[in-house]
C-alpha cells in the first residue's frame, strides 16, 4: 500500500490488536477509511510486522471435519465431527458410520447427522 511506512502500520496494528479499538474506531482516530485500515492490517500481517499466535491447536475433531471438506473440495462449509464418531469412505461416498456430527453450511441452519447419514450429500445439498 503506497504511502504508508512501517511505523504507520505498527501504530494502526497497535490500536487494533493491543488497544482493542474496532477498525472503524481506528479509522476515525487516524483520519482514514475503514477499508484503508483493513488493508493496512493485512499488509502488516503479510510483512511480518504482526504475528498472530494461537496457543492451542485446533481441536482434532474440528480439524477432521476441515480435512473431510477439503477432500470433498467444499468450502467454506465445515463439519464438526463429535468425539466417538467415525466415517466410512467408499469411492466418493462419505457416510457417518457411528456417533453424531453437526454440519454447518453458510446461509443455512446447522444439520445434525446420525449414523448412516451420507455426510457428503448433506454438505452438498
Judge contact between 29 and 8, C-beta under 8 A: no
Helix (H/G/I), strand (E/B), else coil: 96: strand
Per-residue pLDDT of the chain (125 residues; tens, 9 = 90+): 456 889 999 999 999 999 999 999 999 999 999 999 999 999 999 999 999 888 887 677 667 666 766 666 655 455 566 666 767 777 767 777 777 777 766 667 777 778 888 876 666 65
Q: What is the pTM of this model?
A: 0.50
Give dist(CA 74, CA 106) in Å, integer: 11
Nearest to 75 by CA among 97, 106, 116, 99: 106
Give dist(CA 93, CA 44) in Å, integer: 42
Judge contact between 78 and 64, C-beta under 8 A: no
b/e code 87-101 from CB counts within 10 Å (16+ = b): beeeeeebbbeebbb
Give dist(CA 56, CA 76) in Å, integer: 22
Domains of the chain from N-terminus onward: 6-46 (1.10.10.10), 60-124 (no CATH)
Amino acid at each position: 500500500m503506497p504511502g504508508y511506512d512501517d511505523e504507520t502500520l505498527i501504530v494502526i496494528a497497535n490500536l487494533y490488536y493491543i488497544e482493542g479499538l474496532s477498525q472503524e474506531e481506528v479509522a476515525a482516530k487516524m483520519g482514514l477509511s475503514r477499508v484503508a485500515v483493513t488493508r493496512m492490517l493485512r499488509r502488516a500481517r503479510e510483512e511480518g510486522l504482526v504475528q498472530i499466535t494461537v496457543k492451542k491447536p485446533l481441536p482434532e475433531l474440528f480439524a477432521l471435519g476441515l480435512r473431510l471438506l477439503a477432500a470433498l473440495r467444499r468450502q467454506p462449509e465445515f463439519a464438526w465431527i463429535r468425539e466417538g464418531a467415525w466415517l466410512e469412505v467408499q469411492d466418493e461416498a462419505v457416510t457417518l458410520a457411528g456417533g453424531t456430527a453437526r454440519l454447518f453450511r453458510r446461509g443455512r441452519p446447522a444439520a445434525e447427522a446420525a449414523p448412516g447419514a451420507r455426510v457428503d450429500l448433506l454438505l452438498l445439498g
